[in-house]
Structure formats: structure tokens, C-alpha cells
Structure 1
């Protein structure tokens, strides 16, 4: 991530995630007691998940962010940080009771890799488990904030088809001023 993403580690972003984005995205969805969070970044959503579910396993591809999260959540027994690539998860089939990814999918460089990520998440979820996901809708301002960084936004109009192809069902995609949100079942 480029330096513009430092805002994602700040208190204002954490408050927006906690009070606005996560309640809208989660929409009272039960993620169970063993949740996978893909791409936690600076951990704003992890803060909320760690107090609302018994176990959160965060998979972060960025070495620097994974190290920071490991240190930051070292004394939080409900959080486990794994340095890894969500397109090749090192977990058994049907392991997790729920999964979440918030405002990170635009950092996955290609649609093919995004689809691979969706398929891997579906693989490691138990039957009936929910994936909750959100991200911004692509625009010029967001593209400008990603100069020198990966920016590959997902068009919400085709997201339901992509999630269904990855192994999900009961896909619900919504949009608002924050971007798009999806809830899908394995």
C-alpha cells in the first residue's frame, strides 16, 4: 500500500469502520465462533471482530502490516495473525464458521486473482457459513489515492455472479455512499 493508506491506521477511520461501515456490511449476520478475516490491513475491522467473536484469524499478505498486527494484537488471545496469501490459504476445507474482508479487494491485482481469493474463502468455510465483504466503488478520486499502488476496484453489478461461480449462494449485494457490501453463504 502507498503512504496515502496511513489514514487507515488512524482513529477517525477506526471510528468510521466501527460505527458506520461494519454495522451496514454485517447487517446482523452471524459469523460464528471461528472467523477468517482476509486482508486486515491496519486492523480497524479486527478491533471490532475481536470483541464480537471468540476467534479471529487474520491473513495479511503485507509483511510490514502482518508484523505490526502481530505486535498490536499480541495480548489479545482471540486474534491470530497469519502472514499469507488469501489466494492460496493454508487451512483445511470447511475450517471457518464465517469470513470477512473489508475495503481490501481493490488491492488484489487482477479479476482472476480476486476470483481465486473468493474460491479459496469458499473452500475454507463450513457449509452454510457466511462471507461478508465490502469495498469502495471505483472512481477517479480513489484511483488518484492509489497512485503507485494496486487499484483494481470490483464492479458491484457483476459481483453476485462472481461469488456464485466461486461456490457461494444466497448472494446479496448492496450499495450506498460507502461503496458496496455483499453477504454470501457457502
Structure 2
């Protein structure tokens, strides 16, 4: 989904890449077994992708924005498979990934129905026993300012476990970061 100029600048910065590497991913993936073939939905400018390619043998990234997907292909295409597609309708085979992840991107999905389609697609492409894990931000004053004239559809934490269960997941867990209030989740495909 389109982002305003300030948001694009932040998300493409080295500062954001360091924050992702040092804070966001360690928290979001604590105790998560990614396996050997990971799918990232909504990698944006690749801050998470560049960490994931160092941790697992195979990474596929699905990016909805064509220009951003082309940028990812130029930067990381020799180490990851980049697919220009909508995470709510991925042209990927059923049960093909050991894990599916998404980080700080669900709030860019304009509707809850589209978010639910992403959850269903994550379930579809996961192997049995695979994990869907990720995190997303919650509203705050600064977060609202950053999203001025930008898509901001945060996922209400109280409804997330039920929405993941409705998509077919089991062993759903969710908690919030004690300082930022960000939400992280984990769910398994039976």
C-alpha cells in the first residue's frame, strides 16, 4: 500500500534496518523455529529480508508494490526469490513453506477482510506443522503522525487470535511488547 514520503524515508533507512535487526526480529521471532524455507509477506524495502537471508537456507518474499519488488530483486534477488504479488492472493503452491512471517506490515492492509485473506493465504502455503509468526504496531500519537495521509489499519489485539483460528491455525498465541505495545503472534498449521 502507498506510504507517505516521511514513512518511505523511515522504512528505507539504515536506522530502521538496525532497529529491525536488533530489536524487532529478535522479539518477534523469539523461540520460533523458521525451518529451511521461509516466506515473508510484505517485505517493503527489505530490512527484515536482509536479516532472514542470513538465518535460513531459502527465503521467498512477496511484495505487492511493483517498484519495491523490483528494488528488492536488484538488491537481494541473488539470495532470495522475490515475487511481485498480493499477499492476499499469492501465486505460490499449497503447503510449500516451513514458515511464513510478516513484520510491521499488516497495518498497511486497508481492510480487515484483506488482512484475513492474508491469514488464509499464509495458512494455505504453510506445510503441516509450519508456523506463521510476525508482529505489528499499535496506535500511538507518533504512529498516527507517521501515517498522516497513509494507510493505517492496525489489528486489534483482542480479535487477532480468533481471526487466525478462523483461518485454520491452531496453537495461536499473541502478546504485546511491554514498552511499545506492539503485538506479536504465532500460529501453527495442523
d(CA) in 1 for partners of 2:159, 2:74 = 38
- Using structure 1 for the length normalisation, give the TM-score: 0.95
Q: Is this contact kept in 2: 1:132–1:184, CA < 8 A?
A: yes
Partner of 1:104: 105
Partner of 1:126: 127
Q: Is this contact kept in 1: 2:50–2:76, CA < 8 A?
A: no
Q: Which residue of the other structure, out of 24, 43, 47, is the alignment partner of 2:46?
A: 43
| Greater mean alpha carbon deviation, residues 61-70 or residues 1-10 | 1-10
1:21-64 CA distance string (max 9 Å, x none): 11111012111111110000011110110000011100000112
Shift of 1:145: 1.3
Shift of 1:81: 0.6
| Aligned counterparts, 1:75-154, within 5 A | 75-76=78-79, 79-154=80-155
Partner of 2:4: 2
Shift of 1:74: 3.2
Which stretches in structure 1 are left out of the alignment for 5+ residues?
none
SS in 2 for 1:133: strand
d(CA) in 1 for partners of 2:166, 2:128 = 16
d(CA) in 2 for partners of 1:49, 1:40 = 11
d(CA) in 1 for partners of 2:167, 2:144 = 27
SS in 2 for 1:41: coil
Which stretches in structure 2 are left out of the alignment for 5+ residues?
none
SS in 2 for 1:106: helix
SS in 2 for 1:12: helix
* Superposition CA RMSD, Å: 1.1
d(CA) in 1 for partners of 2:139, 2:170 = 25
- Using structure 2 for the length normalisation, give the TM-score: 0.93
d(CA) in 2 for partners of 1:83, 1:184 = 25
Quick check: 1:181 aligned with 2:180?
A: no
1:119-164 CA distance string (max 9 Å, x none): 0110110111001110101233322211222110001111101100
